[in-house]
Amino acid sequence: MVWFYIDQTSHVPVYKQICDRIKEMVISGKIKPGDFVPSVRKLAKDLGVNVNTVARAYRELVNEDVLQPIKGEGYTVKGIDEGFVKEKLEDLRKILTNLKTIGLKKDDALKILEEVFGDDSEG
């Protein structure tokens, strides 16, 4: 089972994409505090990336208190920092501002939001 995919053509470094995907999974509730994440070797194999890349991502996530290493066991989810959500909202704001500058109409942006959120009553 592959947990998620990464974009090898993206300008975002692979280790950063791994960090972001794991954070997104925690925020969405797909993985919860106390859950184990795949081993470094397993995730590297599943994603087709170097083991050192996944190890770097996990180190970053440990430094950010998202993951906790358990000696001899692996890594468990510890939690998520609200700063990640704020960072992503700021990214969205910048994207929308750029699109507005080149002529995106509010109605078109709202249509996209409706497509993404659908009939999501949770907001």
Q: What is the CATH number of the domain that holds 40?
A: 1.10.10.10
48: left (phi over 0), alpha (psi -120 to 50) or beta: left
Quick check: 122 pLDDT over 60? Answer: no
| Contact call for residues 47 and 2 (beta carbons, < 8 A) | yes
In a domain, 1, yes or no: no
Residue 48 sits in which domain range? Answer: 14-77
What CA dihedral angle connects 24, 26, 29 and 30, to 10 degrees?
Answer: 80
Q: Angle between the 14-28 and 51-63 helix axes, to the nearest 10 degrees?
A: 50
Residues 50 and 87 in one domain: no
Hey, which residues does 68 pair with through a beta bridge?
76
- Confidence band for 34, pLDDT divided at 50, 70 and 90: very high
3-state SS, residue 41: helix
Residue 75: what pLDDT? 96
Q: For residue 73, how many other CB atoms are within 10 A of its CB?
A: 9
Overall domain count for the chain: 2
Residues 113 and 66 in one domain: no
Average pLDDT of the segment spanning 10-37: 92
Residues 21 and 70 in one domain: yes
b/e 34-47 (16+ beta carbons within 10 angstroms → b): eeebbebeebbeeb
Residues 72 and 87 in one domain: no
- Confidence band for 86, pLDDT divided at 50, 70 and 90: confident
Residues 62 and 88 in one domain: no
| Contact call for residues 69 and 62 (beta carbons, < 8 A) | yes
In a domain, 45, yes or no: yes
The model's pLDDT over 51-72, given as tens digits with 9 standing for 90+, comes to 999 999 999 999 988 999 999 9
In a domain, 44, yes or no: yes
Quick check: 1 pLDDT over 60? Answer: no
Residues 18 and 69 in one domain: yes
Residues 46 and 101 in one domain: no
Average pLDDT of the segment spanning 69-95: 86
